[in-house]
Structure 1
């Protein structure tokens, strides 16, 4: 018997689990906003060089007047980064224009921005256009760098100091620094605060996932994990509504960060992972949380039956293993752990790489950015429902691989769609994003089930690091379209294909109890592999018996090693 049996004895997935999972999932409504915020706070409004304040007696509109100051670009629209050195008054009339090209210069007096789509953004506030345009993408890369750093730092710290403590701190850090970001006096300060906010985002995600998984019975993990991901999906749609209503980057920033003070205020109610407490020599505290769960689940009689001795007897092997101090190096020391870690690193990188490659530059689709964000969020619902069915009936491994391969096929198909067919291209991009989102849903659940309790957060931190490297690399790949327009899609799709194939190398975890130690992982998956091999050998012997019954009469079938329930 193991800890999973104790969870079933105190009510399984009862009222306690429902409340804890719900309170942990609600912040997910705004976690999507943190990652996709740059689409709106760093939106690029229409702009052109600022022109002098002139008064003329001509009865012409301002748009017509602009032709005397601003040249036309190759698409016959007003240039965004140049103006005439001398005013070309003759260009505001319909008369025949001179064939000579007037001399132009940069926007030395600044820019004028269209406020129709964005009242204010960091682009218009700090003039991140023309030669400074790369700074817009750099701000998102810096934020993702913070998320990466947070994954490394908070992953290891939570295995040492607990999930709850690090989650509480992450809520506070996100709320405080996110609010200060809205008050940034300069672009440099903005980037620094966004980096620190990104660190806290990792702390929230990693610890919330572990607190959910480690309190949920085996049979309900799939359903709960998928439903929890819907909060993130709905959050994408909520972001579109908030951004459309406010349209000012400072107000949007406040709107998605201030609520974390509320999450911080109720996070003290959470129960620390009882698994983690036992494995860190704090069995009495773990027992209090188990008794609390039993009472809330309507099983008060279990508070007398489950004692410290009973709890530790259920986790005797895990306690013996927990005397060791684990680091990230332990993820690579043993064969099975090494295989799992390397495969997950590729899957996480490619999933994030393709996801943010599709989701981070919505203006490129030529559709209203608020509507595009709403559509991108809405498509996740059917995609994740499909993933839920697949996870429940096909298992984690097959679902993970198929989601990545289907996403890759959609990305590749977009290469052959002409640029004029914008609706078709947008539809395919939305579908591709839906399947990468489903892949995210699966990989979060899959990873939590593959890594053992003693090093689960360290493992989550490692693979999350690869995810953030993927999200940082995704915007940079878009530059390749200057070489070949199809090249970004080839890179995104190729990465998803490789990861989809590698996902099939991972062991299946459907309806299997969570491992608590590295020894559990090695014993469980090694035994399963040996059992499969021996079963194949047994089948081979049986076939020989059928062909030559007299030759193998003394052969006994090999013993099949069965998995020990933990």
Structure 2
């Protein structure tokens, strides 16, 4: 925790931190587009079977020209239970006798039908092309769409675990730059995918990079920010992610062809890769990984950019070794993922944070996968949700800094669960009220995610923080994978999935009481800092902490 003293000397929130955020935020905005891309590139338009007498231009013009398309459709496609044309079956032969029924509807089960053996006709009014229309991912092949989305999530999970470990070993900046380049290449190549198999492989590789771009960017800025400003900085980070949602809605509205949209959100990462060379590696990480010379060099760069004068006299290797003696001694031992579970306090924090993130992910994705309640204008909704989450995250900053991390997060998680549970009892025809409650849930989920990220970064030590981020991603993706599966329980009881979505965050809220409050506390750097946390009184003033940190 002694690094806070060094950070105060070089500037904990100044010109350098602003420049660092300016380099980081554009990539955060566009990487969100990649994580939500299938909302548009894999959109399922209206479709029906291709039929000979209606869709063959020669036959339609010569033999049946006196009949309107609507009549031909009625003769060729059976109606479903909602009296809409079936999407996946057609009559084996045109049913000419239906011309004489004068608006009545016969028993369609008595008529011979067949699958869409000649393909499908798609409604291109909303999208000129999607992967669904290109590779016919409908009817018997419709299960491939959620499989693709799952592969992206599995990719983020694998990337978080693998690259999280590598980030703690080789540095945040190096792995971030590699993932920016990987995302640029895999995303651009996806544009030219010739078949669904290649598309899935490339999207998996993109998913491996998405989580690391977000996590390492956050870690790079947090480890250069003083304790009192971490809440504000992380709120700005999450606002950048929300702006990315809005950008995606606008881009998808302009570029309706999936390959064009894929290319537009991928090419910028070549620019982000080049600009990332000006990012500064975390001095905190360099010092605790036994690279004090390099860490000192970065500290001097930061001091210069922040306009801190005469710091060269106090910033020297001998002073650094005295100030961070305990951290440098700990740095002699290499860490692994298992170090998160070796000591009692860190193990407790890891388990509790895993559970809270898992419960929050279930409720978040439980709402997201049912956005059809809002209607069909998905471009507008994408922008609205971005604006909504920005607003709530900014509002959450005040209680986060004034009241504390735990009570603020508990409040938002309770509101998430309450809004979902109340919605269970709202009739389907009261759409406005249902939209309002769902919007409250989405906004509170966004706010609780911001609070969680701030709290988590302050609970876990620098030496294993990137590894812990990978484990956090595992919890998030497990919740994301379970949320859609819970909808299968609606067969037994329609309200059961929603009850689970609502109860999970309410159960997780009091669990936060088992974690320490971290408002205005310095970041722990070593595992020993976490284990010795009891010596830091939760009610101690900021001055008390300064005295304890600088005792070295």
Question: Shared fold by TM > 0.5?
Answer: yes
Paired position in structure 2 for 1:554: none
Asked if structure 1 preserves the Cα contact closer than 8 Å seen for 2:415 and 2:444, the reply is: yes
TM-score norm. by structure 1 comes to: 0.91
Paired position in structure 1 for 2:17: 17
- Aligned-partner SS, 2:224: coil
2:311 and 2:167 map into 1 onto residues whose CA distance is 29
1:562 and 1:219 map into 2 onto residues whose CA distance is 12
The structural deviation recorded for 1:142 is 0.8
Asked if structure 1 preserves the Cα contact closer than 8 Å seen for 2:28 and 2:213, the reply is: no
TM-score norm. by structure 2 comes to: 0.93
Q: 1:525 to 1:123 in 2, by over 3 A?
A: farther
Match of 2:145 among 121, 136, 139: 136
The equivalences for 1:52-451 within 5 A come to 52=52, 53=56, 54-55=59-60, 56-92=63-99, 95=102, 99=106, 101=108, 102-363=111-372, 365-451=374-460
- Aligned-partner SS, 1:333: coil
Paired position in structure 2 for 1:38: 38
1:14 and 1:100 map into 2 onto residues whose CA distance is 74
1:92 and 1:316 map into 2 onto residues whose CA distance is 90
Paired position in structure 1 for 2:518: 509
1:325 and 1:353 map into 2 onto residues whose CA distance is 35
Structure 2 unaligned blocks of 5 or more: none
2:457 and 2:401 map into 1 onto residues whose CA distance is 16
| Larger mean Cα displacement after TM superposition, 186-195 or 87-96 | 87-96
Q: 1:526 to 1:483 in 2, by over 3 A?
A: farther
Paired position in structure 2 for 1:564: 548
| Larger mean Cα displacement after TM superposition, 321-330 or 38-47 | 321-330
The structural deviation recorded for 1:140 is 0.6
How many residues align? The count is: 538
Asked if structure 1 preserves the Cα contact closer than 8 Å seen for 2:5 and 2:549, the reply is: no
The structural deviation recorded for 1:265 is 0.5
2:545 and 2:215 map into 1 onto residues whose CA distance is 35
Asked if structure 2 preserves the Cα contact closer than 8 Å seen for 1:331 and 1:337, the reply is: yes
The structural deviation recorded for 1:144 is 0.1
Q: 1:9 to 1:527 in 2, by over 3 A?
A: closer
| Larger mean Cα displacement after TM superposition, 471-480 or 316-325 | 471-480
Asked if structure 2 preserves the Cα contact closer than 8 Å seen for 1:49 and 1:112, the reply is: yes
Paired position in structure 2 for 1:557: none
Asked if structure 1 preserves the Cα contact closer than 8 Å seen for 2:373 and 2:435, the reply is: no
1:341 and 1:76 map into 2 onto residues whose CA distance is 53
Structure 1 unaligned blocks of 5 or more: 533-559
RMSD: 2.1
The structural deviation recorded for 1:208 is 0.9
Q: Deviations over 1:510-543 (max 9, x none)?
A: 10001111111111146548x99xxxxxxxxxxx
2:154 and 2:519 map into 1 onto residues whose CA distance is 33
Asked if structure 2 preserves the Cα contact closer than 8 Å seen for 1:400 and 1:439, the reply is: yes
The structural deviation recorded for 1:92 is 4.7
The structural deviation recorded for 1:561 is 12
2:335 and 2:90 map into 1 onto residues whose CA distance is 62
